[in-house]
Amino acid sequence: MESFNMPDDFLWGSASAAYQIEGAHDVDGKGASVWDEFVKIPGKTFKGTTGEVAVDHYHRFKEDIALMAELGMKTYRFSIAWSRVFPNGKGDVNPLGIHFYEDLVDECLKYGIEPMITLYHWDLPLALEKAYGGWESPQIIDDFVAYALFIFEHLRSKVKYWITINEQNIFTSLGWLTGIHPPGKIDEQKSFYQVNHHIFLAHAKTVMAFKKIDPEVKIGASFAYSPSYAMDCDPENAMSKMDFDNLRNYWWMDVYAYGRYPKTAFSYLEKKGIAPVVTTDEIEMLKRAASLIDFMGVNYYQTTVTEANPLDGVGPNIKMNTTGKKGSSSVSGLPGIYKTPSNPYLSTTDWDWTIDPLGLRYACKEITSRYNLPIIISENGLGAFDTLQDEKTIHDDYRITYLSAHIQEMMKAMSEGCEVWAYCTWSFTDLLSWLNGYQKRYGFVYVDRDEAGGSLDRVKKDSFYWYQKVIQSNGKNLM
Ligand code: BG6
């Protein structure tokens, strides 16, 4: 690559989510979330792991942020646990809950770390699920906006970057199609699209409300973008790519950026009787919000290959690899439309996630050409087994190789015309990997705990010192 100078104000950072790190699940007045309940169902998570303690960030945030400062991080993306602030999702506020996030923000600012807040990273207050079915009811839209506005009023003088929803595509697919996340429903396609419509409206109303109060604020959603490659130039496979993109990628990104659903995908859903009910006023609202968003948040982990799928072909209900035993996941698809075989050109992680640094450049270029929006890479990282040696070292050269290759592709994308504001690795410390327990590690900082528990001591991995140099050199020193 020709030499490329990163902008001086580029935000190098890391990201996390409340349920995966905070712990303190019932401490200081926090209410339960759907995840607090879901993890108790036998067989749902690897070895029955929960986030009850997680990595105890709630009690150790000062230590963690001091480590971020030592590393030199410019931004820290974290999420707010809605039920820590509103134990019942709405109504009475838990003062200790909002104080925690005020303290967290202040601690970041103390070290010059730009806080980036995600308002929703999957931990819906359980009370709202019980009251009206959570996202299945349009009632949630105003409850979400009220919650978001409360947080905004308290933190807006200190926080510039806001992410409304994390990976709407993932938590709704896993929650309503494959049933492996809460609320654990299987193949409820009609609910899936209606739920998504409610989330789009909650996002849109939040964007409009924030911008009305402060037009200078930077706001968008974070999408789990898996760019697709057609298996080959067989026209049937090329068409499967087009349909995959419309149904699995543009379905979300077009709404965020244009305020409209991809037409052919909508028509397909209408014919099947599973399209969401959408009013003209709602489309107007989505369009208004789309004209106001500042960036596309992208969580990038892997690309997808698409191939034609017969009508009696494989469905979405896949076997996921949650154990780290390579090759234990299965191909998924949409009968009659596409299936997603593995990519023979690429290697995979122990959890069968395809490793494709170039895909990050592809993602940035696609977003730039299609939406002409700045980009925040809000997540990118490698889940791997790490081994603690001598109680104080972890040689995670594989993570360095992975991240370095992705950063290079991001920089190439920037040199080719993409405007990227931030790059957040997933994650800063090791954390609970939802269904995969604690053995799938993502951090620069090792946390001494496994599925059964541990001391929770923090140990800096080799990648910690590597990322420190990357940031110090503003991306020049990647090895
Ligand atoms: C993203 C999520 O899907 O990927 C994170 O936003 C998650 O919350 C990350 O942890 C990695 O996924 P997993 O399943 O390996 O933890």
E runs forming strands in 205-343:
218-224, 228-230, 296-299, 304-306, 333-334, 338-339
State which residues of the chain have pLDDT below 50.
none
Report the atom number in ligand 1 closest to the C-alpha of 353: 15
Asked whether the beta carbons of 11 and 75 are under 8 A apart, the reply is yes
How far is Cα 376 from Cα 191, in angstroms, rounded to an integer? Answer: 30
pLDDT score, position 394: 97
CB atoms within 10 A of CB 118: 25
pLDDT score, position 125: 98
Q: How far is the CA of 69 from the centre of ligand 1 (A)?
A: 24
Q: Which residue's alpha carbon is nearest to atom 11 within ligand 1?
A: 433
**Residues with C-beta less than 6 Å from any ligand 1 atom:** 17, 20, 166-167, 170, 224, 299, 379, 383, 426, 433-434, 436, 440
Question: What count of Cα atoms within 13 Å lies in the side-chain half-sphere of residue 359?
Answer: 25
How far is Cα 255 from Cα 399, in angstroms, rounded to an integer? Answer: 34
Report the atom number in ligand 1 closest to the C-alpha of 433: 16
pLDDT score, position 420: 98
State which H helix or E strand residue 467 sits in. helix 462-472
pLDDT score, position 330: 85
Q: How far is the CA of 165 from the centre of ligand 1 (A)?
A: 14
Integer CA distances (angstroms), 155 to 66, 150, 356, in order = 21, 9, 37
Find the radius of gyration of the CA atoms of the chain: 21
Q: Which residue's alpha carbon is nearest to atom 16 within ligand 1?
A: 433
How far is Cα 67 from Cα 429, in angstroms, rounded to an integer? Answer: 10
pLDDT score, position 1: 60
For 225, the token pair is 């973008």
Q: How far is the CA of 175 from the centre of ligand 1 (A)?
A: 14
pLDDT score, position 450: 96
How far is Cα 332 from Cα 342, in angstroms, rounded to an integer? Answer: 10
Between the CA atoms of 112, 113, 117 and 122, what dihedral angle is there, to the nearest 10 degrees?
-150
Q: How far is the CA of 118 from the centre of ligand 1 (A)?
A: 14
Q: Which residue's alpha carbon is nearest to atom 2 within ligand 1?
A: 167
Report the atom number in ligand 1 closest to the C-alpha of 431: 10
pLDDT score, position 308: 98
* Matching residue, tokens 């995908």: 265
Query: Taking Cα atoms as reference points, which of 411, 454, 404 lies closest to residue 429?
Result: 454
Q: Which residue's alpha carbon is nearest to atom 13 within ligand 1?
A: 433
Q: How far is the CA of 53 from the centre of ligand 1 (A)?
A: 18
Annotation marks residue 63 as catalytic = no
Q: Which residue's alpha carbon is nearest to atom 7 within ligand 1?
A: 433
User: pLDDT digits over 393-425, tens only?
Assistant: 999 999 999 999 999 999 999 999 999 999 999
> Which one from 114, 129, 136, 167 is the annotated catalytic residue?
167
Q: Which residue's alpha carbon is nearest to atom 8 within ligand 1?
A: 17
User: Please, what are the domains in the chain?
Assistant: 11-225+356-472 (3.20.20.80)
* Matching residue, tokens 């950072």: 13
pLDDT score, position 4: 86
- pTM value is 0.97
User: In testing the pocket of ligand 1, which one of 121, 321, 352, 379 has its CB within 8 Å of the most ligand atoms?
Assistant: 379
Question: What count of Cα atoms within 13 Å lies in the side-chain half-sphere of residue 197?
Answer: 21
User: In testing the pocket of ligand 1, which one of 302, 355, 426, 430 has its CB within 8 Å of the most ligand atoms?
Assistant: 426
Report the atom number in ligand 1 closest to the C-alpha of 167: 6
How far is Cα 443 from Cα 445, in angstroms, rounded to an integer? Answer: 5
pLDDT score, position 2: 62
Annotation marks residue 379 as catalytic = yes
Q: How far is the CA of 58 from the centre of ligand 1 (A)?
A: 20
Query: Taking Cα atoms as reference points, which of 341, 339, 370, 345 lies closest to residue 236?
Result: 339
Q: Which residue's alpha carbon is nearest to atom 10 within ligand 1?
A: 433
Q: How far is the CA of 433 from the centre of ligand 1 (A)?
A: 6
pLDDT score, position 316: 80
Q: How far is the CA of 147 from the centre of ligand 1 (A)?
A: 24
Report the atom number in ligand 1 closest to the C-alpha of 381: 11
User: pLDDT digits over 366-390, tens only?
Assistant: 999 999 999 999 999 999 999 999 8
How many residues belong to the chain? 479
E runs forming strands in 244-324:
296-299, 304-306
Report the atom number in ligand 1 closest to the C-alpha of 426: 9
Q: Which residue's alpha carbon is nearest to atom 15 within ligand 1?
A: 433
Report the atom number in ligand 1 closest to the C-alpha of 17: 8
Asked whether the beta carbons of 467 and 444 are under 8 A apart, the reply is yes
